[in-house]
Amino acid sequence: MPRPLRLTINVIVSVALTFLGLLFVTFIIGRVVPIDPVLAIVGDRAPEHVVERVRIELGLDLPLYQQFVIYVGNVLQGDLGESVLTARPVLDDIKRVFPATLELASVATLLGVLFGIPMGVLAAVNQGRWPDQVIRVVGLLGYSIPVFWLGLMGLLLFYATWDLVPGPGRLDFIYDDMIDPVTGVILIDSAMAGEWDIFWNAVSHVILPASILGYFSLAYISRMTRSFMLEQLSQEYITTARVKGVKEWRVIWVHALGNVRIPLVTVIALSYANLLEGSVLTEIVFAWPGLGFYLTQSLLNADMNAVLGSTMVVGAVFIGINMLSDLLYKLLDPRAR
């Protein structure tokens, strides 16, 4: 069998097994939580015969292995069940709310990359001196401060006290439903439609939650960049370049950082995936109508179909981003092919 074909088959099998494991985990979660999905649908005052009839209709009277087979089959057909909270298919709900999370996490990751990489480089170049100490403290605070507290303090200062940013939400209410949701990402849809008032209003709303979420991405990226750069700056080729008279900025930003970009791809990809999954508290604080907010509301209302569907989407995103980072790694580094 040709090597490229063998590698392709290995990747497909690995992804299939990982996704199957994800389905198994979500299935078990749905069975061990102390929430009866039948009572969540019919209410705890429904007659016993109604409860039993709905249980049979949902297939919950079958053995667990049969339930799992049915569950996998439904998911592969795109059927994540119906939400008790919205009375709509869970997949439709996720399609509606996920672009908001994608928008928030993308802007946060962009901020984390734009500030985190230069900070990491600066810290490595000044190892042991005051710039390094300051940047390390900033990163440490990013790991230590609870995101919900930082979000509340941000709203208190920048919104309630100084009135520098608008309040929670994605848009002012006067702009609601004024843009056709082509992609669901307001920044893109408003720019495509040429509605620049709506675009800048969306920017003003996203900047504070994205900055707070991006701070945690910045802490991770700057720390890893510093570590990678310290390793590269100690290599012989850096010493050789300096001896040959290569300008210092070129040694740092071209030679050293050029070799760091490959492992940084994985770091940025994992940071992005973590922000897509970890934006729950930020979305709650800022009333951001994304997947995290939807997941929380579903959990509080015992809407297990929505909870499991959201969990599965987050897991699938992790799998997809990891595959993409592996692909980019191989494209950037021929030695990894």
Other CB atoms within 10 A of residue 24 CB: 13
Question: Which range scores top for mean pLDDT: 68-77, 98-107, 277-286, 293-302?
Answer: 98-107
Q: Which is it for the CA torsion 23, 29, 32, 34, positive or negative?
A: negative
- Fold annotation for 91-336: MetI-like fold (1.10.3720)
- Give the pLDDT confidence of 36-61 residue by residue, as tens digits: 777 767 777 778 888 788 888 777 77
pLDDT for 212: 92
Reference 94, options 305, 245, 299, 326; nearest CA is: 305
Beta bridge partners of 82: 89
Q: What is the pTM of this model?
A: 0.86
Compute the distance between CA of residue 66 and CA of residue 89 in angstroms, rounded to an integer. 23
pLDDT for 307: 83
pLDDT for 36: 72
pLDDT for 333: 65
Residues 6+ apart with CB under 8 A from 182: 188, 189, 192
Burial track 220-243 (b if 16+ CB lie within 10 A, e otherwise):
bbbbbbbebbbebbeeeebeebee
pLDDT for 129: 92
Compute the distance between CA of residue 101 and CA of residue 94 in angstroms, rounded to an integer. 10
pLDDT over 90 percentage in the chain? 29
CA distances (Å), origin 113, targets 106, 222, 294: 11, 8, 27
> Average per-residue pLDDT in the chain?
85
Q: What mean pLDDT do residues 242-267 have?
A: 87
Other CB atoms within 10 A of residue 331 CB: 12
CB 230 within 8 A of CB 127: yes
Compute the distance between CA of residue 60 and CA of residue 57 in angstroms, rounded to an integer. 8
Domain positions in the chain: 3-76, 91-336
- The three-state secondary structure class of 127 is coil
Burial track 273-299 (b if 16+ CB lie within 10 A, e otherwise):
bbbbbbbbbbbbbbebbbbbbbbbbbb
pLDDT for 221: 94
CA distances (Å), origin 271, targets 20, 106, 279: 24, 10, 12
CB 251 within 8 A of CB 242: yes
Reference 194, options 207, 208, 182; nearest CA is: 182
Q: What six digits make up the tokens of 182?
A: 């082509």
